[in-house]
């Protein structure tokens, strides 16, 4: 394939043609990765009037979008259907379409390996696909959470190996996704967007681009700053949740109600921000992102001690919950082995369908290892596929009445907690979902 060269117009004024297309909304927008981050972003730009093409190797997702069917809870299904029907949004699994696009957002997974180091295979694959079809006057933005330096050290060389140069022929930025699934107040459009480019021109063009569909855009001085912003945000939450979990462990040993302690501390009008303990961390961000920073710190010869310690504390919470269940059953003269334990909620957080890294999965495995018969209820997760097969969500009150112990793992708001308290013989509440209920059958975290 011949090495692409910049057009005379773009050579004279880099980014001029692209800027004009963004301003009049004729720029053809592409999003690689149509999951919880990519699909809402694609919908927002399509709603703003751009022609958007979503690219995903999962052909089921592509087919769903082509048929106007939504598979992400936070996206309005009727809106998606109308955007597909009027031609503003389409999907494909063919990466060659990138040649026809003016912008590309990379919204692919960035998991951790078992050794707690970053798995960049999805980012590399998406970047190589973009590089293969890169052309002059194109904007590429990485949104996948990663370690500081990824955009500069990993993505830039891949894109420049064909002969085009950043800041002259194409433009490269990092803008961290800030999706909060299940949040009724904040969504893609009204969460401020941080943007940092490899060059100042790239930052300027990306700010203009996002401003067409996002309410507020915040430029920073570099891609590294933008990358670190996301890690600080999630590390802040992870460490403070770790502190709350450690307080729960300490209060349990001392016979103190940790929830009452936090509520009382929250009355202080300054210098305190409440975080709450729970059965463990889940989702695609908080349990994973801080370890990107920890890994990068080691590369720089430094130790991220708070991150490592908080990770250890948070990681032991599923075991703590399993121990709570065992102790509660023992108090009823019942062994865990052979007991029927029913979990309320298997999603990683309230009011979402996402089970990635959910502590419920660890709690299930720990209880099953001790011989318990485990079932669950979750209105957002009708079926749960695991290595050992597939479980189906059970009707709440019937299952609770049959169980020897019920464990509230995820505090969905559409659970009938009054009916649960009335039906269940024993409840271990790991989320304080039963605050206000008084019953000798309730054991709190």
CA-CA distance, 245 to 248, in Å (whole number)? 5
- Give the closest residue to 145 by CA, choosing from 347, 291, 306, 313: 291
- Give the closest residue to 87 by CA, choosing from 65, 62, 72: 65
Q: 194 in helix, strand or coil?
A: strand
Contact 434, 237 (CB under 8 A): no
Other residues' Cβ atoms within 10 Å of the Cβ of residue 302: 10
Active site residues: 285
Beta strands 193-197 and 170-174 are antiparallel
Other residues' Cβ atoms within 10 Å of the Cβ of residue 274: 11
Other residues' Cβ atoms within 10 Å of the Cβ of residue 255: 6
Assigned token pair, 361:
């999965």
- Give the closest residue to 408 by CA, choosing from 362, 346, 361, 365: 346
Assigned token pair, 197:
């480019």
Assigned token pair, 402:
């049959």
Other residues' Cβ atoms within 10 Å of the Cβ of residue 309: 14
CA-CA distance, 294 to 305, in Å (whole number)? 8
CA-CA distance, 261 to 443, in Å (whole number)? 17
- Residue identified by tokens 């194409």 is 170
Q: What is the DSSP letter of 153?
A: I
Show Cβ contacts of residue 233 under 8 Å, excluding neighbours closer than 6 positions.
Answer: 176, 178
* Inter-residue long-range contacts of 160-165, CB under 8 Å, 24+ positions, other chains counted: 161/131, 162/3, 162/4, 162/131, 162/132, 162/134, 163/3, 163/4, 163/5, 164/4, 164/6, 164/134, 164/135, 164/136
198 by Cβ neighbours in 10 Å (0-12 / 13-18 / 19+) ranks as buried
């Amino acid at each position: 394939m011949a090495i692409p060269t910049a057009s005379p117009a773009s050579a004279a004024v880099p980014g001029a043609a692209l800027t004009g297309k963004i301003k009049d909304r004729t720029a053809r927008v592409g999003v690689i990765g149509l999951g919880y981050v990519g699909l809402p972003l694609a919908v927002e730009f399509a709603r703003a009037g751009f022609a958007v093409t979503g690219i995903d190797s999962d052909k089921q997702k592509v087919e769903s979008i082509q048929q106007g069917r939504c598979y992400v809870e936070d996206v309005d299904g009727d809106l998606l259907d109308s955007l597909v029907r009027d031609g503003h949004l389409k999907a494909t699994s063919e990466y060659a379409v990138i040649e026809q696009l003016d912008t590309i957002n990379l919204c692919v997974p960035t998991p951790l390996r078992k050794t707690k180091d970053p798995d960049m295979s999805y980012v590399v694959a998406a970047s190589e696909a973009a590089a293969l079809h890169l052309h002059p006057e194109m904007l590429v933005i990485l949104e996948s959470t990663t370690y500081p330096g990824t955009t500069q050290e990993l993505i830039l060389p891949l894109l420049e190996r064909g002969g085009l140069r950043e800041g002259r022929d194409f433009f490269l930025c990092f803008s961290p996704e800030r999706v909060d699934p299940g949040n009724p107040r904040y969504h893609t459009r009204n969460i401020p967007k941080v943007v940092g480019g490899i060059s100042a021109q790239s930052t300027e063009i990306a700010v203009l681009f996002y401003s067409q569909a996002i309410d507020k855009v915040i430029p920073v001085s570099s891609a590294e700053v933008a990358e670190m912003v996301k890690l600080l945000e999630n590390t802040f939450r992870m460490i403070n949740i770790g502190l709350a979990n450690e307080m729960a462990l300490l209060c349990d040993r001392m016979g103190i109600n940790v929830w009452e302690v936090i509520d009382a501390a929250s009355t202080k009008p300054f210098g305190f921000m409440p975080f709450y303990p729970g059965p463990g961390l889940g989702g695609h961000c908080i349990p994973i992102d801080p370890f990107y920073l920890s890994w990068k710190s080691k590369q720089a010869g430094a130790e991220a001690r708070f991150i490592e310690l908080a990770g250890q504390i948070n990681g032991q919470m599923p075991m703590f919950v399993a121990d709570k269940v065992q102790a509660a059953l023992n108090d009823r003269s019942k062994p865990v082995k052979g007991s029927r334990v029913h979990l309320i909620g298997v999603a990683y957080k309230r009011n979402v369908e996402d089970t990635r890294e959910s502590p419920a999965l660890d709690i299930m495995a720990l209880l099953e290892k001790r011989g318990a018969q485990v079932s669950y209820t979750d209105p957002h997760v009708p079926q749960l596929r695991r290595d050992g097969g597939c479980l189906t969500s059970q009707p709440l009150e019937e299952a609770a009445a049959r169980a020897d112990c019920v464990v509230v793992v995820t505090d969905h708001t559409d659970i009938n907690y009054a009916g649960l308290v009335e039906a269940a013989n024993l409840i271990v509440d790991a989320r304080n979902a039963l605050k206000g209920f008084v019953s000798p059958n309730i054991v709190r975290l």
